[in-house]
Structure formats: C-alpha cells, structure tokens
C-alpha cells in the first residue's frame, strides 16, 4: 500500500494520559495509519510540521469484542498510536490546535446593567 505523508497522521490522541505525557515529558501521542512504520511516521512529521523527531514508539491496540447484537459480536476498531519525542527546541501544540479547550488570554469587557 502506498501511503503519502498526508495519509500517515490521522490526528491527535486526546486522553488524560496523553495530556500528561505532553505536559510532563514533552511527548506527543498521535493516531497513525495501521500500515505506517516508524521511518514513514518520522518523515511525515518532519515534513508536515517542520520539526526534528528524536524517538518514536508505536502501540497497536487490538479491538475488543464489546457486546453481542442479534447473535453477532460487535468489535471496537483496531488502532495504532505513535508516541513521539521531539528534539530540544521543537514543539507541536496539538492541544490548542486540535480544538481542545484553551484558556482565554483576553476576555470581553463585562458590562453591568443597572
């Protein structure tokens, strides 16, 4: 299967643990295509975000059978995650870019009605 750099990264993985990894250890957790390997993930991140990748670890979470519906088991989707460590001086702010609630820096003036 021929993957382009735009097909590799599917989006951020937003969980409490991923946020803690980002905050404490400056690591990113991204959801990637199941057929993507580490060199392809590294190439895609370096070209898309113009950063230098130091280390990549991948995790494949197999989909579990959750329940049965009309005598057929339903199954969660199998996903692949990549935990990325960037070199010093580089960062990708996925928590504010991906639609996560960010703290407002400026607030609108409050008017009181008398």
Write out pLDDT tens, residues 74-101: 888 999 999 999 999 988 887 665 544 4
Assigned CATH topology for domain 5-88? Alpha-Beta Plaits (3.30.70)
From the number of C-beta atoms within 10 Å of its C-beta (0-12, 13-18, 19+), residue 82 rates as buried
The DSSP symbol for 40 reads H
Band of pLDDT at residue 113, cut at 50, 70 and 90: low
The pLDDT of 93-110, averaged and rounded, is 51
> pTM to 2 decimals?
0.75
> Which residue shows structure tokens 């097909």?
7
pLDDT for 101 equals: 44
From the centroid of its chain, how far is CA 2? 22
Sheet containing strand 53-61, edge to edge, reads: 9-12, 27-32, 79-86, 53-61
pLDDT for 34 equals: 94
Write out pLDDT tens, residues 19-75: 899 889 989 999 999 999 999 999 999 999 999 999 999 999 999 888 887 888 888
Lowest mean pLDDT among 13-17, 91-95, 108-112: 108-112
């Amino acid at each position: 299967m021929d993957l382009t750099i735009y097909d590799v990264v599917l989006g951020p993985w937003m969980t409490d643990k991923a946020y803690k990894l980002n905050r404490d250890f400056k690591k990113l957790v991204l959801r990637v295509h199941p057929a993507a390997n580490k060199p392809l993930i590294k190439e895609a991140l370096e070209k898309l975000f113009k950063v230098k990748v130091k280390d990549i670890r991948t995790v494949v979470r197999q989909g579990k059978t959750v329940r049965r519906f009309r005598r057929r088991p339903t199954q969660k989707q199998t996903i692949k995650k990549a935990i990325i460590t960037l070199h010093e001086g580089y960062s990708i702010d996925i928590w504010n870019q991906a639609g996560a609630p960010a703290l407002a820096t400026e607030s609108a003036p409050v008017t009181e009605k008398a």
